[in-house]
Amino acid sequence: MYAAQLRSKDEILAIRAAEREYAKRVLVAQETLKVVREELATCYRENGVNHKMACKGIREEYAKLIQDPTHGAGYPTRPEF
């Protein structure tokens, strides 16, 4: 291996911590998406034919989360060494 490829213990720990933090954000974003989807389905059932007006805010929030490639989790951050 080249000397430039070797990492110190502190660098490895920082990378692992950043990976864990990103994994937590992804899980939270997935659960948020599930909750919003369930709220939207409940709103549709409760409001029937008036769902387009009554559920507009929830529908827009859900559309925003779905269109985001990371579903609100953001992108991984690089640890600083």
pLDDT tens sequence across 3-46: 567 788 888 899 999 999 999 999 999 999 999 999 999 999 99
Considering only residues 77 and 43, tell me which one the structure prediction assigns the higher pLDDT.
43
**Domain range holding 17?**
8-67
Which bin fits 74, alpha (ψ -120 to 50), beta or left (φ > 0)? left
For residue 73, being part of any structural domain is answered with no
Count of structural domains within the chain: 1
Using alpha carbons, select from 26, 37, 20, 3 the residue that is nearest to residue 79.
20
Determine what percent of the chain is predicted with pLDDT higher than 90. 65
Query: What is residue 3's predicted lDDT score, i.e. its pLDDT?
Result: 58
Indicate the pTM of the whole model.
0.78
For residue 2, being part of any structural domain is answered with no
